[in-house]
């Protein structure tokens, strides 16, 4: 392999590791802060979503936001052993509505999420959560779906 190509490959791998470690540190800090202060963390929303036409997503929400619609869009996608995703999630619940910018790390069928609410209910609060990849029929037929939750933490 060309030495310059090898250096670029190593730098790219090191950058992914650095982003992953920074995200995990942020996630740990977010969970720690939310857990340390009684009553500061609450289950914000549950969701089941699927890809409509790449990079758009649709689905349903529930939990403390109330029943409603999910919509979103993938902004950045880097496949690998752990797939890194940046996405915009919009929760249009019957009780609350918000938009969040999310960082997602998916390994296998499970993902960990961390982000911030950029608009609506809880603007400025951090959110953490997870989802699992499942099969569902929200799109009218069997498709890959992602079912999970987000917790909000003090702003």
Mean pLDDT by 10 residues, the chain (155 residues): 54 48 41 38 83 97 96 98 98 97 98 98 96 94 94 83
Query: pLDDT tens-digit profile of 89-123?
Result: 999 999 999 999 999 999 999 999 999 999 999 99
Sign of dihedral through CA atoms 51, 93, 88, 125?
negative
Nearest-CA neighbor of 150 among 38, 16, 27, 29?
27
Residues in the chain, how many? 155
Domains of the chain: 3-153 (2.40.350)
Three-state DSSP class for residue 125: coil
């Amino acid at each position: 392999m060309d030495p310059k190509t090898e250096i670029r490959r190593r730098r790219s791998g090191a950058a992914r590791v650095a982003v992953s470690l920074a995200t995990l540190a942020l996630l740990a800090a977010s969970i720690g802060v939310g857990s340390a202060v009684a009553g500061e963390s609450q289950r914000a929303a549950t969701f089941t979503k699927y890809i409509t036409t790449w990079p758009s997503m649709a689905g349903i929400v529930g939990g403390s936001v109330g029943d409603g619609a999910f919509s979103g869009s993938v902004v950045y996608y880097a496949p690998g052993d752990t797939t890194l995703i940046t996405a915009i999630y919009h929760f249009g619940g019957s009780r609350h509505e918000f938009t969040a910018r999310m960082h997602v790390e998916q390994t296998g069928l499970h993902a960990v999420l961390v982000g911030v609410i950029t608009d609506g209910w809880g603007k400025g609060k951090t959110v953490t959560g997870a989802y699992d990849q499942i099969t569902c029929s929200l799109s009218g037929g069997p498709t890959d779906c992602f079912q999970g939750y987000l917790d909000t933490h003090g702003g």
